[in-house]
Copies of this chain bind each other. A is one copy, B any other.
Amino acid sequence: MGTLFKNGTVVTASDMVQADVLVEGEKVVLIGQNLPTQGHEVINCEGKYLMPGGIDVHTHLDLPFGGTFSNDDFDVGHKAAAFGGTTMHIDFVNQPRGGSLHDGLVTWREKAKPSQIDYGFHMIISDLRDDVMDEIPSLLDEGITTVKLFMAYKGVFQIDDNTLYKAMQVAAKHGMIVMVHAENGDVEAQLRSQLLAEGKTDPIYHYSSRPPEIEGEATNRAVVLAGLTGCHLYVVHVTCIPAIDALRRGRQLGYPVMGETCVQYFHVTRDHHLGAPGFEGAKYVCSPPVRNEEHHQALWQAFKDDTLQAISTDHCDFWYEGGVGPWQQWEKDHKGGQWAEYEKQDPTYRRPGKELGKGNFAKIPNGMPGIEDRMMVMWELGVNSGKFSPSRFVELMSTNPAKIFGCYPQKGTIAPATDADIVVWDPNAKHTISASTHHMRCDYNVYEGMQVTGVPQQVYLRGKRIVDGNIWLGKNGEGKYVRRIPNAPVL
């Protein structure tokens, strides 16, 4: 007895065909026409698209950051993701300063225990000592193919080019991918300290400290080093023309370089959002910063000519004001999830949020919510506008992520023997995005008020329905760790 998805349109990265899909256990087993219904739970998918579950390859759940933690964790964040049609994400593990990579992994495995959807790990290297350089290849044994290095955050994560080069050589040798946060941290540090010294402390100066030029510069540098070492490079959160141009040049030279952008970089602007009056802009502080319209256009173009390969979220949300009131009330009213022990034990405790950066933009916790919105917003902006076909949408949201990060074809498509992560997508249903209805533990939504046409109606994780409209059917611990495989293709 299986689940039979009847009469939907199966959408893969290349195909859209009317077909029935039979799932048995955790896997897709049959795709065909007029499959017999007896013995199966039948889901009527007439007028619906069946798409592989979204894969968000860039998230920071439960992340310690500047004296607080990002709000969403492997419980609440997972639910929110699934409500948005995402059934897998790859979260960034932080190597603890002074510790090993595996030390970080231990911590993240603990965080991940209540998981409700599938997940993988990237490894952030914060302290690239020689012994850590040697440790890198052992990540493959843990199913991790990706290390992330920072060209920014001087004095914290930032590495020099010599280290980056050597890490790339190691990665190249082992079929691993180097991910970089590409901004010139030296210049950023200088701009930041000068701005603060001049009393320029509002959120908008976050932008001034991280202009497109320094993202473009660092991207170019990483691309050149990847070309020299033959290392597969994946530039995270590309936001702007100079960075896109740098990647494009690299790809035209045949370098094995790839990149992603995040949903917000298509929509949120410096002028209207980050530059909003008062402290409002703090909601939109992330790094690199959001850019204006001309850069949004360049991003669309970058997908037209395959300069970029994927769209993620960099999901990392903090309270804007919510953290000021007792969390317990929010909790009761809303959404559950894990909390730190001290939070549980002290009902008066207020978890800090964006307000940490009042009077100093550099202390605003970086990041914003998005894991739930990604699929709907990109469908609205991309598919409904005619820029992406549904197949292209699937490719960017699910298939390319799975291929690049070494979990294809287990994930990323609908085909026999693949994991039955299936989204029943209603292309005609309408929804208004709002913090008042979203499932993320965040008191604002970046796309507040956006009307979208096209929403996930039901979501299946390895054959099990976990979302049905507004109802949550999943269970803690049912999300599984996805081991990933090296030598993935460069797309």
Contact = CB atoms under 8 A, between A and B. Distances in A.
A166 B252 CA distance: 34
Interface stretch (A218-226, A268-276, A363-371): A218-226
Interface in A7-38: 10, 12-20, 22, 27, 29-35
Given A19-B417, A395-B14, A304 B251 contact: yes
A19 B165 CA distance: 42
B211 A228 contact: yes
A143 interface: no
A164 B187 CA distance: 9
Contact of A389 (B29, B165, B217, B489): B489
Contact of A32 (B12, B31, B211, B391): B31
A186 B399 CA distance: 37
Given A14-B12, A186-B160, A228-B213, A32 B413 contact: no
Given A32-B29, A33-B416, A154-B162, A16 B305 contact: no
A59 to B, nearest CB: 24
Interface of A: 10, 12-20, 22, 27, 29-35, 154, 160-162, 164-166, 184, 186-187, 189-190, 211, 213-214, 216-217, 220-221, 224-225, 227-228, 242, 248, 251-252, 254, 301, 304-307, 389, 391, 395, 399, 409, 413, 415-418, 489
Given A17-B409, A184-B224, 7 more contacts: A19-B416, A22-B32, A30-B32, A32-B416, A154-B162, A211-B228, A254-B301
25 contacts: A10-B415, A13-B15, A14-B391, A14-B413, A16-B409, A17-B415, A20-B416, A27-B33, A31-B415, A161-B187, A162-B189, A164-B186, A184-B221, A184-B224, A211-B228, A214-B224, A216-B224, A217-B220, A220-B220, A220-B221, A221-B221, A252-B301, A252-B304, A306-B306, A389-B489
